[in-house]
Structure 1
Amino acid sequence: MLLRYVFFRVLMLIPVSISISVVIFAIVHLLPGDPVDNLLRVGSSPADRAALVAKYGLDQPLVVQYVRWVLAMFQGDFGEAIVLRRPVADLIRDNLPYSLRLGAAAFAFSSIVGIALGTVSATTRNAVVEQFVRGFILLGSTVPGFWLALLLILAFAVQLQWFPVSGAKGWDALVLPVLTIGFGGVALVARVTRVALMDARREDFVTLLHAKGLPANTILFRHLMPHAMLPVVTILALRIGWILGGAVTVEFVFGRPGLGSLLIRALGQRDYPVVQGCLLMLALAVMLGTLIGDVAQAAMDPRVREAKT
Structure 2
Amino acid sequence: MTPGSPADRPSRVNGAALRRTGLLVAGAAFVLWAVASLTFFAIRLIPGDPAQAILGGPGSQASQEALDQVRRDYGLDQPLLVQYLAMLGRLVTGDLGTSYALKLPVADLLGAQLGGTLLLATLALALAWLLALGLAIWSTGRGRVASALGEGIEITSAALPHFWLAAVLIAVFSTGLGWLPPVATGTPSGLVLPVVTLAVPLAGFLAQVMRESLLDTMQQPFVVSARARGESALGVRLRHTIRHAALPAISLSGWALGWLLSGAVVVETIFAMPGLGRTLLQAVTLRDIPVVTGVVLLVALVYVLMTVLTDVVSRIADPRLRQEGAR
TM-score by length of 1: 0.91
In structure 1, distance between residues paired with 2:121 and 2:247: 22
Q: Deviations over 1:21-66 (max 9, x none)?
A: 2112111122221233242565433222111222222112222222
SS class of match (2:246) = helix
Q: Which residue of 2 aligns with 1:91?
A: 109
Q: Which residue of 1 aligns with 2:24?
A: 9
Residue 157 in 1 paired to residue 168 in 2?
no
In structure 2, distance between residues paired with 1:34 and 1:168: 36
Q: Which among 120, 124, 149 is matched to residue 106 of structure 1?
A: 124
Deviates more, 1:132-141 or 1:186-195: 132-141
Q: Which among 66, 76, 82 is matched to residue 58 of structure 1?
A: 76
Quote the offset at 1:113 in angstroms.
1.4
Quote the offset at 1:288 in angstroms.
2.2
In structure 2, distance between residues paired with 1:3 and 1:216: 39
Q: Which residue of 2 aligns with 1:273?
A: 290
Q: Which residue of 2 aligns with 1:260?
A: 277
Q: Which among 36, 44, 49 is matched to residue 29 of structure 1?
A: 44
Give the direction of change, closer, same or farther, for the CA distance of 1:293–1:67 in structure 2 (3 Å limit): same
Quote the offset at 1:308 in angstroms.
9.9
Give the direction of change, closer, same or farther, for the CA distance of 1:28–1:194 in structure 2 (3 Å limit): same
Letter in 1 for 2:29: I
Q: Deviations over 1:110-144 (max 9, x none)?
A: 011111111111133482x4443222211111111
In structure 2, distance between residues paired with 1:174 and 1:43: 41
| Count of matched residue positions in the alignment of Structure 1 and Structure 2 | 308
Residue identity over aligned pairs, in percent, reads: 33
SS class of match (1:44) = coil
In structure 1, distance between residues paired with 2:257 and 2:150: 24
TM-score by length of 2: 0.86
Query: Is the contact between residue 78 and residue 87 of structure 1 (CA under 8 Å) also seen in structure 2?
Result: yes
Q: 1:1-309 residue pairs with structure 2 within 5 A? A: 1=13, 3-4=17-18, 5-38=20-53, 39=55, 42-125=60-143, 127=145, 129-301=146-318, 303-304=320-321, 306=324
Gaps of 5+ in 1: none
Deviates more, 1:194-203 or 1:39-48: 39-48
In structure 2, distance between residues paired with 1:308 and 1:21: 34
SS class of match (2:94) = coil
RMSD: 2.2
Deviates more, 1:7-16 or 1:99-108: 7-16
Query: Is the contact between residue 241 and residue 285 of structure 1 (CA under 8 Å) also seen in structure 2?
Result: yes
SS class of match (1:123) = coil
Quote the offset at 1:294 in angstroms.
2.8
Quote the offset at 1:11 in angstroms.
3.0
Q: Runs in 1 of length 4+ with deviation above 6 angstroms?
A: none
In structure 1, distance between residues paired with 2:69 and 2:78: 13
